[in-house]
Amino acid sequence: MTKALPSVSRPATPGFATFEKPRHSLLIDGDGEPDFSAIQTSEEFRALKRRMARFILPATVLFLAWYVTFVLLSAYAADFMSTPLFGTVNVGLTMGFLQFVTTIVITMAYSRYSRRHIDPQVDRVRALAEPDEELA
Amino acid sequence: MTGANTALNLTVFSVFVLLTLYIVYRASTRNVSASDYYAAGSSFTGTQNGIALSGDFLSAASFLGISGAIAVNGYDGFLYSIGWVVAWLISLMFIAERLRNTGRFTMGDVMAFRMRQRPVRAAAANSTLVISLFYMIAQMAGAGGLMALLLDVHSKLGQAVIIVVVGIVMVLYVLVGGMKGTTWVQIIKAVLLLLSVTMLTIFLIGKFGFDFSSMLDRATQRSPLGESVLAPGVRYGATGLTKLDFLSLALALVLGTAALPHVLMRFYTVPNAREARKSVVWATWMMAIFYSCTMIIGFGAMALVGTDKILDAPGGENSAAPLLAYQIGGTVLLGVVCAVAFATILAVVAGLTLTASASFAHDVYANMIKHGEAEPRDEVRVARITAVCVGVLAIAGGIAANGQNIAFLVALAFALAASANLPTLLYSMFWKRFNTRGTLWSIYGGLTSCLLLIAFSPAISGSKSSVFPDVDFAYFPLSNPGIVSIPLSFLAGFVGTVLGGDEADPEKQAEMEVRGLTGLGSNLR
């Protein structure tokens, strides 16, 4: 985590306020605001989107399919859902409780994936449009 | 439920109100700017906001309603909880972080980000007000019903007085504390609720030697339905139509949660997207624990109190948890459970009032009437006046709806949110071509189709349990409209966009996408 830098100190033109040469040219416009169209097409941003999709798409398909399966089985396969599993606890109650478990597992997995693979890439994209903070 | 413990209940409840009002007062010293009032200056941590989120979400319907539904219908009551837990994954992966990065105070900020401001903000404010009001009236009506049970107040007049008191206290929270005070109320309430529910569960399962199976066994012996309470179908399994109704409900529950305006607004109280993510992680844990406990409490009430006794009690289904508390912990535990139930209603209604007032002041007054150039002080003043008006409306609506079937109002709020808000939010975040016309069609298409289908549903007319049992204009056979109105809203957004109108602004779209994922341009860290 880097320290916050007041946004007013953002230079108007790339590298203007720093003494060292910037490592890359900043994707900002004349007012010092980020150039969003250029960032959107940058390789760093596209990589960020790919990384998010790689987790979110399969996870969403998985949890929605699992939820819909549970709902459909409850509605149309009551006999199967009432098969006893442990003592009086049947398949339906177990599957319902497992919905809680999978929700927690996916939540924690997303949190971990974000910390390891998304947050660092977000920092890389932000660096495209922000003065180098390590100098500050 | 004798009158003997009324004094105890009242004392515990008054202590809670006075304590929270004091905390709200202390928390509100610098409650002057619009950002302070709407978003608590974005100063809460993810953990605090996560607990507050669960406080905002766990209404009396969740606590008393779900445990009661399980105690009476068994398996079919359990289905609500599952939808409400799974739904947080949508919030986690699609909504929370992008919303925090893109908007400032309201849902309208995000919906109108790259669209024409005035019509879209008006639409967002309309949908926020309608949804919040429905949700709030259900809570207020619930407060009246609870009183009958918990304080032994049986006259309609007495219950009306209590609804007025609840309304005044909640408006006080909002006026004095703004978002900061309201958030602290949510945190205190959520912790109290979770603690008492967990304690109750541990006592309960301990009575059965920590053997869930033997508890279920006992429950089936005490229920007139026998073994079938453990299987699906008691409530929704009768015909093909009721099964379809169940699917519709399941859809609305899982898609509505992530689009409820008062849940969305919570994400602005944290400083950045990473804290917003952490909020959802905390909230999901709280929900999963809470709903696991309500399942045990529900079946436990069935086993120890018995379904017949619950249905004969003054509050009907809703009395399951209090009756159980009395059974295992006597008057003290009953007092605690009752106070927590009051606190729950108060806090949820305060959160809703704040959301509705923020939407009016920020979207309608500041951005539509004043074209985004309102003085922040005026904006907050308008928000406070709106909060009072919303409070009065909710009190009046609550008194009018007292004694009505409130479950359908809550389910309606979820169906409305899933129809009017979710398609618009997803389209504007993920579909480049989505434009102003698509936005308006999607919001109003979802909102009106949902309202119309409800108006012509069996929940309103034509059956014994409807609002108007004597007339029959129930042309739509399902009591939950989600399965029709949610796809319809997605379709309307698509067709509206494809048919033309203003082209989407590619620069604004680039800004929204980059800002949503990275926070660039939002001055957030």
- What average pLDDT score do residues B165-175 get? 87
Residues of A in contact with B247 (CB under 8 A): 71-72, 75
Measured between CA atoms, the residue of chain B closest to residue A2 is B525
Residue among B78, B85, B277 whose CB faces A103 most closely: B85
- What average pLDDT score do residues B95-116 get? 94
Residue A15, pLDDT score: 46
Residue A131, pLDDT score: 67
- What average pLDDT score do residues B105-129 get? 94
Residue B525, pLDDT score: 65
| Model confidence at B49: pLDDT above 70 | yes
If residue A89 lies in a helix (H) or strand (E), which one and from where to where? strand A89-90
Query: Which is more confidently placed, A123 or B409?
Result: A123
Q: What value does the CA radius of gyration of chain B take, rounded to a whole number of Å?
A: 22
| Model confidence at B249: pLDDT above 50 | yes
Residues 6 or more apart whose Cβ sits within 8 Å of residue B436: B115, B116, B119, B120, B501, B502
| Model confidence at B453: pLDDT above 90 | yes
| Model confidence at B471: pLDDT above 70 | yes
Whether A39 is in a domain gets the answer yes
| Model confidence at B408: pLDDT above 70 | no
- List b or e across B206-219, with b for residues whose CB sees 16 or more CB atoms inside 10 angstroms: eebeeebeebbbbb
Helices (H) and strands (E) in chain A, counts: 5, 2
Measured between CA atoms, the residue of chain A closest to residue B250 is A71
| Model confidence at A2: pLDDT above 50 | no
Residue B21, pLDDT score: 86
Residue B271, pLDDT score: 94
Residue among B89, B247, B518 whose CB faces A103 most closely: B89
Most confidently modeled range among B146-155, B282-291, B320-329, B407-416:
B282-291
| Model confidence at B407: pLDDT above 70 | no
Residues of B in contact with A52 (CB under 8 A): 517
Residues of B in contact with A57 (CB under 8 A): none
When scoring B53, B508, B518 by the number of chain A Cβ atoms within 10 A, the one with the most, hence best to mutate, is: B518
B224: confidence class by pLDDT, cuts 50, 70, 90: confident
pLDDT tens string A88-127: 889 999 999 999 999 999 999 999 999 999 999 999 999 9
- What average pLDDT score do residues B224-253 get? 86
| Model confidence at B459: pLDDT above 80 | no
Residue among B212, B291, B519 whose CB faces A100 most closely: B291
Interchain pair A126, B237: CB under 8 A: no
Residue B336, pLDDT score: 80
**Phi and psi of B443, rounded to 5°?**
-65, -55
| Model confidence at A4: pLDDT above 50 | no
Residue B406, pLDDT score: 64
Interchain pair A92, B230: CB under 8 A: yes
Question: CA-CA distance, A67 to B88, in Å (whole number)?
Answer: 13
Whether A134 is in a domain gets the answer no
Residue position matching structure tokens 């607004």: B265
What amino acid occupies position B406? I
Residue B67, pLDDT score: 87
Interchain pair A93, B254: CB under 8 A: no
- What average pLDDT score do residues B430-441 get? 94
pLDDT tens string A38-89: 999 999 999 999 999 999 999 999 999 999 999 999 999 988 999 998 888 8
Measured between CA atoms, the residue of chain A closest to residue B289 is A100
Residue B403, pLDDT score: 66
pLDDT tens string B473-504: 888 888 889 999 999 999 999 999 999 778 88
- State how many domains chain A has: 1
Question: CA-CA distance, B505 to A96, in Å (whole number)?
Answer: 44
Most confidently modeled range among A7-16, B221-230, B261-270, B319-328:
B261-270
Whether A101 is in a domain gets the answer yes
Interchain pair A103, B86: CB under 8 A: yes
Provide the domain limits for residue A105.
29-126
For chain B, the straight-line distance linking the first and the last C-alpha, in angstroms and rounded, comes to 53
Residue B405, pLDDT score: 60
Q: Are B20 and B169 in contact (CB under 8 A)?
A: no
**Angstroms from B261 CA to nearest CA on chain A:** 22
**What one-character-per-residue DSSP string does B267-312 give?**
GGGSSSHHHHHHHHHHHHHHHHHHHHHHHHHHHHHHHHT-HHHHHH
| Model confidence at A5: pLDDT above 50 | no
- What average pLDDT score do residues B247-254 get? 92
Residue A136, pLDDT score: 40
- CA angle, A68 as apex, A66 and A73 as ends, to 5°? 95
- What average pLDDT score do residues B300-321 get? 84
Query: Percent of chain B at pLDDT above 70?
Result: 96
Question: CA-CA distance, B182 to B40, in Å (whole number)?
Answer: 9
Q: Which domains does chain B have, with CATH numbers?
A: 3-399 (1.20.1730.10)
Query: Which is more confidently placed, B68 or A10?
Result: B68
**What one-character-per-residue DSSP string does B406-448 give?**
-HHHHHHHHHHIIIIIHHHHHHHHH-TT--HHHHHHHHHHHHH
Complex ipTM? 0.91
Interchain pair B230, A90: CB under 8 A: yes
Whether A40 is in a domain gets the answer yes
- What average pLDDT score do residues A29-40 get? 85
Whether A19 is in a domain gets the answer no
Residues 6 or more apart whose Cβ sits within 8 Å of residue B110: B98, B99, B102, B103, B425, B428, B429
